[in-house]
Structure 1
Amino acid sequence: MNVILHDRIPSHDYQAVFLSDVHLGTRDCRADLLADFLRGLSCRRLYLVGDIIDGWKLKRSWFWNDHHDDVLNLILRMARGGTEVFYIPGNHDEIFRRWLPHRLEVAGIRLCEQAEHVTVTGRRFLVLHGDEFDSVVRYAPFLAVLGDRAYSAALLVNRWFNTVRRRLGLPYRSLSAWLKRQVKGAVMAIDRFETAVVDEARRRGMDGVICGHIHHAVIKDVGGILYMNDGDWVESCSALVEHHDGSMQLLDMTDVRWRVAAPRHPGAVLVPADA
C-alpha cells in the first residue's frame, strides 16, 4: 500500500469524518476554524475521537467563547439532522468515561469507549482515542499533568508567534508542532505510541486504526496495518475523512482556501479505497 500525495477538490459531503483533540475550554483551541468546517459539512457518520472538551483546563480556569458554543451547537444540529455521531472520550474529557461501559445516547450523540468503523469498501478500522497506549498517562498521571503544563507554555509561545505572522500577512504555522518534531524523545514517544495502537488493531484482526491523543496528524502503513491519526484543533487543525468511494484523506484546515466556495488542498494525504 502506497500513501500518495494528491491534489483534489474535496466535497463538503463525506461518508465519515473523524475529529479529535479539539480541547474546547482552552485559549489555544481553534474553534473558529472548526466551526467554519462544520458549517459546510454533511456526513453519514461523525466520530469525535476524544479530548473534545478539556476538563483538565476547565478545572483550573474557565475559558469559553462564542466559537466554542458554535462548535457544540453545530455538532448537535448534525446529530438532529440524521448524522450518526459517536463520542469516544479521551483523557482530558475522561469525566464522560464514568458513564461507560453502559450504552448511553444524549441528544443523538452515542457515548462509547471505542468503535469499529467499516468503510463502504468493507475495510475495518478500530477507532479509539489512544491514551490507554500512552505509558505516561497510564502509569504516571502526575507526569502527564506536568507535561500538559509544559505543553501549554509552548502553545502560549505559539500564540504570540502566530500573532506576529498574522500581522505580517503570513499564514498560520504551528511553532509548537515544529519544536515537538525536533525533540528526539518526543519523536521516539510518537513511534512507540504508533506501534502500540497498530499492534492492538492487528490483534483484533482489523485493517487499520484511527486515533488521536498525540496531536500528530498522519496516514501511513505500519507493517501492513493502516495507521491514521486525525491530528488536533490546537496545532494541526486537521480532519480525517472517508469519501464516498471509500478513500481516506487528511484535510488541513489552516489552509485559508478551505473557506472559499471551491476549496483546494494541495498535498493533502489521500489513501485510495483499494489500498
Structure 2
Amino acid sequence: MLSCRTIFISDVHLGCKDCQAEYLLSFLQQNQAETIYLLGDIVDLWAMQKQVHWPAAQNKVLQCLLQKAEQGSEIIYIPGNHDEAMRLYKGKSFGNIKIALRASHTTAQGKTLLLLHGDEFDKEVSFGRFQSWLGDNLYDLLLFLNRWYNRGRRLMGGRYFSLAAYIKSRVPGALKAIARYRQAAINKAKRGGYDGVVCGHIHHPELVIEEGIIYCNDGDWIDSCTALVEQHDGSLTLLHWAEQQQHLAALPVQAVKSNKAA
C-alpha cells in the first residue's frame, strides 16, 4: 500500500449510474493517508431522487472510508450541491468522519490551501439560465456516450478512456466556463490570504499555478477518475486512476512561496 500525507477527493456521485466506484475503491485500497478530504458530491442525492443505483462497489467505497477513519485517518467531509443536505450537520461526526462547510489545510512545507466544493462560484461562471440548462443536458449526453463507449472498449480488451473529458476539452464554450471558474477560485484564495485552493464541482481535473496561487481541481469519479495527493515532502500530485494509472500533473515543494512569508 502506498503512503502519502493527504488525499483530496470530490464528485464521487455515489448513487448515480455513472459513478466509477470500482476505480475509486481500487485507489482507496492501494493508498493510505494521514488525512483525507472529501470535497463534496460524494453521495448524489439529486440522482437518487430519480433512480437509486447502488451496486456492491459503491457500498464498499463507503465501508472502506469508514474503515480508514476507524484505523486513524482523519477524514473531513465538505458537502457539495448534490449532497447539500449534509450541510445541516456541520460540526458533527458520522463514523469518525467530520462534517464541515469548508476547511483549510497546511502542507508539509507550510503552504496554506483553502478547501471547498466550489458550487459557490456558479454565479460567476454562468452564462445565463438557458446556457446552464443546455450545458447540464449536454453533459448528461456526454456521460451517456462515455458509459457506452467504454463498455465497448472493455469488450475489445481496451483500457478506460474519458470520452466526456476529451470532448469537453475541445468545446470553446466549456473551456471559457472552466477558465471563469478557475479565476473565481483563485480570487477567493487571494482574498483570504491563502497560497492555494483545492476544489471540485466542475469535473475538470487541473493543477496549475496562476498569479502565484496554486489552483487544483481534483476532478471527479464520474469520467475523469482523479484525485489530488500530497506526498510526505509536501509536493502535490494529480493522479488519474483507472487501468492505466498515471500522473496528470505535479507541483514540487518549492513551486510557490507562502503568502504568509511574503
TM-score, normalised relative to structure 1: 0.87
- Please give the per-residue CA displacement for 1:187-212, whole angstroms capped at 9, x wherever unaligned: 10000000001001000110000000
- Whether the 8 Å contact between 1:49 and 1:89 is mirrored in structure 2 is yes
Which residues of 2 match residues 36-115 of structure 1 at below 5 A?
36-100=26-90, 103-115=91-103
Counterpart-to-counterpart distance in 1, 2:130 and 2:93: 32
Higher relative contact order (CA 8 A, sep 6+): 1
Residue 183 of structure 2: aligned partner: 195
- Residue in structure 1 matching 2:224, options 233, 236, 239: 236
- Whether the 8 Å contact between 1:211 and 1:230 is mirrored in structure 2 is yes
Residue 235 of structure 2: aligned partner: 247
1:146, distance to aligned residue in structure 2 (A): 6.2
Residue 271 of structure 1: aligned partner: 251
- Whether the 8 Å contact between 1:124 and 1:207 is mirrored in structure 2 is yes
Counterpart-to-counterpart distance in 1, 2:58 and 2:162: 21
- Whether the 8 Å contact between 1:131 and 1:138 is mirrored in structure 2 is no
Which residues of 2 match residues 219-230 of structure 1 at below 5 A?
219-230=207-218
Q: Quick one: which amino acid aligns to residue 30 of structure 2?
A: G
Residue 127, structure 1, aligned to residue 115, structure 2: yes
Counterpart-to-counterpart distance in 2, 1:51 and 1:45: 19
Residue 139 of structure 2: aligned partner: 151
| Residues paired across the two proteins, number | 255
- CA RMSD for the aligned pairs? 2.0
1:63, distance to aligned residue in structure 2 (A): 0.7
Q: Quick one: which amino acid aligns to residue 95 of structure 1?
A: A
Counterpart-to-counterpart distance in 1, 2:123 and 2:102: 19
Q: Please state whether the residue corresponding to 1:173 is helix, strand or coil.
A: coil
TM-score, normalised relative to structure 2: 0.91
Unaligned runs of 5+ in 1: 1-10, 259-264
Q: Quick one: which amino acid aligns to residue 93 of structure 1?
A: D
Q: Please state whether the residue corresponding to 2:47 is helix, strand or coil.
A: helix
1:152, distance to aligned residue in structure 2 (A): 2.1
- Residue in structure 1 matching 2:149, options 143, 148, 161: 161
Q: Please state whether the residue corresponding to 1:157 is helix, strand or coil.
A: helix
Residue 105 of structure 2: aligned partner: 117
1:62, distance to aligned residue in structure 2 (A): 1.1
1:145, distance to aligned residue in structure 2 (A): 6.4
Q: Quick one: which amino acid aligns to residue 43 of structure 1?
A: A
Q: Quick one: which amino acid aligns to residue 22 of structure 1?
A: V
Q: Quick one: which amino acid aligns to residue 159 of structure 1?
A: R
- Please give the per-residue CA displacement for 1:124-161, whole angstroms capped at 9, x wherever unaligned: 00011101011289897897566444322221111111
Residue 178, structure 1, aligned to residue 161, structure 2: no
Q: 1:173 to 1:205 in 2, by over 3 A?
A: same
Counterpart-to-counterpart distance in 2, 1:208 and 1:180: 25
Counterpart-to-counterpart distance in 2, 1:32 and 1:212: 20
- Whether the 8 Å contact between 1:132 and 1:138 is mirrored in structure 2 is no
Counterpart-to-counterpart distance in 1, 2:128 and 2:189: 24
Q: Quick one: which amino acid aligns to residue 235 of structure 2?
A: S
1:169, distance to aligned residue in structure 2 (A): 2.0
Counterpart-to-counterpart distance in 2, 1:150 and 1:36: 29
- Residue in structure 1 matching 2:10, options 15, 20, 30: 20
Q: Quick one: which amino acid aligns to residue 229 of structure 1?
A: N
Q: 1:98 to 1:147 in 2, by over 3 A?
A: farther
Counterpart-to-counterpart distance in 1, 2:12 and 2:75: 16
